[in-house]
Structure 1
């Protein structure tokens, strides 16, 4: 839908303020510059108004206001959307960051969490009962964006994607109506679309998740020299590893950690980030598998509370950095792909930049490709790569480096990638990202959002 944006009058904004219990922040307010910022500093935008919702009623009011005034509507949960969809120029931002309550039912092993929760909020609440579900790998990531895109994390191989653990959701639709949806009785078509279809269908004000008995895990990073043989051994190990053993393969510059010798600081290295949720008496076997991957140059792998594994990257990736990422699915991690990762790893542009390869197997493969909107159930790996950096003067070089990396990988990967790793210039990949599910998703979009109110996303146009 193409509309002419009409800026709301002061009177209209005053009426909106009177309607909501949260905050309505406009350019005239002292808090505006802080409120308009998002996690990825490359997106420096100026919305007409930001509604910091206190509850679902405020979200309803925000959607209706945006419709009434023909305003672009951006939705912000944890604010991590690398493509910048949590903000917009001249439109309205529905900011859910005040909506962060989590209610755990330990007997039923479920948790109901509001749409502005981060995984740090969620893990803190559930860990008190020795329970968890699949979340992301950075604690400040919002549960909303991650889950709606599919949701890969440290428990994926054992318990599936975040969206596989979603039981129901409360959604504010494009009409400004609150619906509850689930797999069986209430709007099952909408529920199907939410599980991987991104933010195309509404604003989810609360998520109900299935939980699993996970308390302490064996976790942490192991570092190796930059060597394709390490990646090949990790690939082979992953194929044989028990589902309780989840590990991510990374290429990065050696961080300044006390257990990594100084001579490796700032040098390109490989790393494997372990999360083993099995019994502690098997920890030595896991360490043995890690030692067999190559010469270990630094390691911290120990028992820790599960929420801790989700915080290990937080200090390295604070809000305010500049990010430009790409992502690809692959049915196998070929030797050719590994060679590309090693080549570009050797020229990685900054300490904050990295490549992370996620396994998508185990429980993820026990869900059919048409059972949820997440289509690539036959993929074995998902790679996220690109530049993260502090100086905006580096933007041109870093974007060029990331695009060249992406182009070099294309012969070794699927056409599509995980939407949560996609940049804003990847709109042409949307159909491929949803593959066999695209037509069904488009039909559901026509039903629930025929005017494409929710278009600030990797958009499925109605």
Structure 2
């Protein structure tokens, strides 16, 4: 293991207002634990940054000392790209703050914030940002990858609400990227991942969302063909106020599920309705769920939006084994339905799953070239996730995920959501994720990070060229 020179580490420790944690420090093992317990890496040090000056100090130290740099926000990176062996990890978690301005319907969000922090602060004024489905997810990584969630059909991707971003660049300088300032950088940050700098804060536009209608409908697994044929037609034609992601799952042993279906493999849809919860619009919106086949379970209820965002937190806590892969889809052909049924019948563990998240509706109203997100024509962002608490099952969940994805990929659009990509993705795969935007992204990368300091990500290699 390569370590940072003791004298250099001492100098960095003195320069930081936050803490520097090295392998010799008592908190080292805790610092290197992340959401995905399948990742076991040993960085040379963690710089726990409390402000922009700390971020600038850590970036400059890594650059000047030839130390590889990784950036950690919420620590939810599936492939563990926020940790690199022998690297300096720039840990933004101390910068987990949110400041809401109700007069302008905007929020300023620290780079180390999690979705739960954002939801808590914005809910107080009856507002929200469309972002994710698990409250412990980091705002930074989710946003830089594009960001989708329960509110995407109504309000677009997370990046569609981004107004500006404060960024520390590879040379240690500090800029604000917006439509008016550094517009190329702002374009690239909206979907291009962590390739261009360290975002220390985000400015978001807020949207009305307080109490939402929440529903869940489950069907026996043998009903997958009927359900998916109905779902592929129904949801794209539904009002943007209704969203619902499709899933294959093993029913958890607890409420709200009745005991007779505990442990059964099923398919289902998790609904979110942003209509008026005081009337019967939710019930009317979900009436078509009876059409494909009689549900084995169905419920619908008003719920505070942050409660919906945290609904799966207990089921998916930090410390599980994860392996995932994803793709975009513009349809669900019968051949893909056959794949879903085959692998749903062979779920390797009770937590393993597959989700199809809607990314149409309002997200499609943004121009194809307006942001780095290259799949405005997609209808679903799919992810296959092998999950289990036992490390002994790591290979089983990995193989199931790889096989499922491999058989499903021919029915995809060719690329996937960057936040659902794995740790060993090829350059061709990264190019497919960005389609015709890749060359422009490579040019922006060359302008802002020509030496590729920020490479612990789904990397875009810097290449000279005209950015605009």
Q: Is the 8 A contact 1:386 1:402 kept in 2?
A: yes
State how far apart, in whole Å, the 1-side matches of 2:299 and 2:68 are. Answer: 46
Matched, 1:401 2:397: no
Aligned to 1:37: 33
Residue of structure 1 in register with 2:461 after alignment: 461
* Paired residues of 1:427 and 1:458 also in contact (CA < 8 A): no
Name the CA distance, whole Å, in 1 between partners of 2:68 and 2:38: 19
Report 1:265-304 matches (<5 A).
Answer: 265-280=262-277, 281=279, 282-304=281-303
1:301 is paired with a residue whose SS is strand
CA shift at 1:59, angstroms? 0.8
1-side partners of 2:103 and 2:441: how far apart? Answer: 35
Summarize the alignment of residues 301-320 of structure 1 with structure 2, pairs less than 5 Å apart. Answer: 301-320=300-319
**Residue 216 of structure 2 aligns with which residue?**
221
User: Offset at 1:383?
Assistant: 0.6
Q: Secondary structure at the match of 2:43?
A: coil
What SS does structure 2 have at the residue aligned with 1:207? strand
Instruction: Kindly report which structure 2 residues correspond to 1:76-87, keeping only aligned pairs within 5 A, or say none.
Output: 76-87=72-83
Distance (Å, rounded) in 2 between the aligned partners of 1:407 and 1:204:
34
Judging changes above 3 Å, is the alpha-carbon distance between structure 1 residues 232 and 51 closer, same or farther for their aligned structure 2 residues? same
Q: What is the 5 A alignment of 1:47-196?
A: 47-183=43-179, 185-196=180-191
The secondary structure found in structure 2 opposite 1:98 is helix
Q: Distance in 2 between matches of 1:316 and 1:353?
A: 11
- What SS does structure 2 have at the residue aligned with 1:232? helix
Distance 1:368 1:263, change over 3 A: same
CA distance in 2, matches of 1:333, 1:107: 43
What residue is the counterpart of 1:237 in the other structure? 234
2:465 match: none
Alignment of 1:369-448 (within 5 A): 369-428=368-427, 429-448=429-448
| Alignment match, 2:245 | 248
Contact 2:2/2:44 (8 A) holds in 1? no
1:206 aligns with 2:201: yes
Deviation for aligned residue 1:77: 0.5
Q: How does 1:351-370 map to 2 (within 5 A)?
A: 351-370=350-369
1:18-41 residue CA offsets vs partner (Å, 9 max, x unmatched):
111111100011000001111111
Cα distance in 1 between the residues matched to 2:95 and 2:345: 42
1:258 CA displacement: 2.9
Deviation at 1:6, TM superposition (A): 6.5
Can you list the C-alpha shifts for 1:369-412, whole angstroms capped at 9, x where unaligned? 21100001111111111201111121222211111111111221
Residue number in structure 2 paired with 1:258 = 255
Paired with 2:192 and 2:173, the residues of 1 have a C-alpha distance of 19
Number of matched pairs: 457
What is the CA–CA distance in structure 2 between the aligned matches of 1:260 and 1:41, rounded to whole Å? 28
Could you tell me the TM-score, scaled by structure 1's length? 0.97
What's the offset of the Cα at 1:359? 1.2
What's the CA shift string for 1:133-158, capped at 9, x where partnerless?
10100000001011100101011011
TM alignment of 1:337-356, pairs within 5 A: 337-356=336-355
Distance 2:241 2:213 in 1: 10
Shift of the alpha carbon at 1:310?
0.6
Structure 1 stretches of at least 4 aligned residues deviating more than 6 Å after TM superposition: none
Instruction: Give, in angstroms, the shift of residue 293 of structure 1.
Output: 4.0
Q: Deviations over 1:159-216 (max 9, x none)?
A: 1000111000000111111110101x21000000000000000110000001011111
Which residues in structure 2 correspond to 1:3-42 (within 5 Å)?
A: 7-42=3-38
Please give the alpha-carbon distance, in whole angstroms, between the structure 1 residues aligned to 2:341 and 2:297.
19
Structure 2, unmatched stretches of 5+, are 463-468
CA 293–52 in structure 1, closer or farther in 2 if over 3 Å, else same: farther
Cα distance, 1:335 vs. partner? 1.7
Deviations 1:280-335 (A, max 9, x none): 32122023133334322223320011111111111111111111101011111212
Does the residue aligned with 2:187 lie in a helix, a strand or coil?
A: helix
Q: Distance in 2 between the 1:97 and 1:295 partners?
A: 46
State the distance in 2 between where 1:133 and 1:368 align: 20
TM-score normalized with structure 2 length: 0.96
Structure 1, unaligned runs of 5 or more: none
**Match of 1:51, SS?**
strand
Cα distance in 2 between the residues matched to 1:159 and 1:258 = 30
Q: 2:466 corresponds to which residue?
A: none
- Report which stretch shifted further, 326-335 or 254-263: 254-263
